[in-house]
Amino acid sequence: MAEAASLDLDLSGRPTSGAGAPAGVVLREVSKAFGEIVALERVDLTIADGEFVAVVGPSGCGKSTLLRLISRLAAPTTGSITVFDDASPLPPRGMSIVFQNHVLLAWRTVLDNVLFPADMVGERRDHYRDKAMELLETVGLAEFAGRYPHELSGGMRQRAAIARALLLKPNLLLMDEPFGALDALTREQMRLDLEALWLKNRMTVLFITHSIDEAVLLADRVIVMTPRPGRIERIMPVGIRRPRGLAARRDPEFLEKSGEITEIFLSRGVLHRED
Ligand SMILES: Nc1ncnc2c1ncn2[C@@H]1O[C@H](COP(=O)(O)OP(=O)(O)OP(=O)(O)O)[C@@H](O)[C@H]1O
């Protein structure tokens, strides 16, 4: 049974996450169909301002569709979406997206790639140079500022893409399987780095992944989705203390929550027991 996130109002009538914090993203009864295919069915979700939410589910359950609707790259078939109180169909201001493939510009240095969003909004690059260098420092790439993307490993390129996404201080960061193409060790390090960046910047994050572990280790709440039609099966709060670091893997709550999610996928036929 899907547990819909509660929708409350604060004293000004502004929607809140239910815990009293102002709402960053609110979806009400959102469905999306592509012809006969119902990609998402009646999704209700409220993400608090500054919350880190992970979405986990099998291929085809509608994770990317959810992200595309929130980013306004696509419109819902029915239902409504507001992002920081804005219900307009235009891409929300202050939003940044990181995809699985870094899409860095091959002809620009790492620093110039990180500065690219400033060009896009017509800001002077030199105003952002210090910020860009600070971000490159945080993601361990300061020494590579003058290099070109082809001179970096896959993990380094993805770090540069994350630095670029943070240049204009987004209040909403949408991440679509950002670590999906990385090896396990790099992925673990990226997880630690992303948590550190989030603790520093406290933007609202929607993080899509196929990894149960990654979702539980990173998120304040994990949205568990199941397919045909894509729907929210469960919303699971994770209260492991931050910074979670490597030790979180041994935390009893990590084992409990990842076990519960595994059970959901087993019961829905997404996973099969080995015996
Ligand atoms: N533009 C489109 N046209 C037609 N069908 C689409 C379109 N986009 C998505 N779908 C369908 O909607 C469903 C959900 O797709 P979506 O990409 O959101 O899933 P996902 O959970 O992100 O999958 P994956 O993990 O493989 O990326 C799928 O059945 C997909 O085939």
DSSP 174-210: EEESTTTTS-HHHHHHHHHHHHHHHHHH--EEEEEES
Q: How far is the CA of 210 from the centre of ligand 1 (A)?
A: 14
Q: Is the CB–ligand 1 distance for residue 63 below 6 Å?
A: yes
Backbone φ/ψ region at 184: left (φ over 0), alpha (ψ -120 to 50), beta: alpha
| Mutation to probe ligand 1, out of 34, 77, 101 (largest number of atoms < 8 A from CB) | 34
CA distance 97 to 99: 6
Phi, then psi, of 172 in degrees rounded to 5:
-135, 120
**CA distance readout (Å), 21 to 10, 15, 51, 199:** 8, 9, 9, 17
Ligand 1 center to residue 179 CA distance, Å?
19
> How far apart are the CA of 55 and the centre of ligand 1, in A?
14
pLDDT band at 9 (very low <50, low <70, confident <90, very high): very low
Question: Which residue has its alpha carbon closest to ligand 1 atom 3?
Answer: 34
Q: Which amino acid is at 19?
A: A
Q: Could you give the CA distance from residue 10 to residue 21 in angstroms, rounded to a whole number?
A: 8
What is the Cα–Cα distance from 206 to 217, expressed in whole angstroms? 14
Matching residue, tokens 């630690």: 192
What is the DSSP pairing of strand 221-226 with strand 231-237? antiparallel
Q: Which residues pair with 16 in a beta bridge?
A: 8, 22
Residue 227 Cβ inside 6 Å of ligand 1? The answer reads: no
Q: Is the distance from CB of 47 to CB of 206 less than 8 angstroms?
A: yes
Q: So what's the pLDDT on residue 6?
A: 35
Sign of the alpha-carbon dihedral angle for 233, 187, 119, 104:
negative
Q: Tell me, what amino acid is at 264?
A: I
Mean pLDDT (the chain, rounded)? 89
Gap from CA of 272 to ligand 1 centroid (Å): 22
Task: Tell me, in angstroms, the distance from the centre of ligand 1 to residue 63's CA.
Answer: 8
Q: Are 198 and 192 in contact (CB under 8 A)?
A: no
- The alpha carbon of 275 and the centre of ligand 1 are apart by a number of angstroms equal to 31
193: number of Cβ within 10 Å: 15
What residues contact 129, with CB distance under 8 A and at least 6 apart? 111, 115
Tokens of 262: 């595994």
CB 67 near ligand 1, within 6 Å: no
pLDDT tens, position by position, 120-166? 888 888 899 999 999 999 888 999 999 999 999 988 999 999 999 99
Ligand 1 center–CA 89 separation, angstroms: 21
Window from 76-85, 118-127, 191-200 with minimum mean pLDDT: 118-127
In contact, 96 and 173? CB cutoff 8 Å: yes
If you average pLDDT over residues 18-45, what whole number do you get? Answer: 88
- What residues form DSSP beta bridges with 209? 56
Measured CA distances, 246 to 176, 193, 242 (Å): 23, 11, 11
Q: What does the pLDDT look like over 219-268, one tens digit per residue? A: 999 999 998 889 999 999 999 999 999 999 999 999 999 999 999 999 98
Asked whether 31 lines ligand 1 (CB < 6 A), one says no
**Residue 172 and residue 103: Cα distance in Å, rounded?**
19
Q: Is 65 in the pocket of ligand 1 (CB under 6 A)?
A: yes
Number of the ligand 1 atom closest to the C-alpha atom of 67: 18
Write down the pTM of the prediction: 0.89
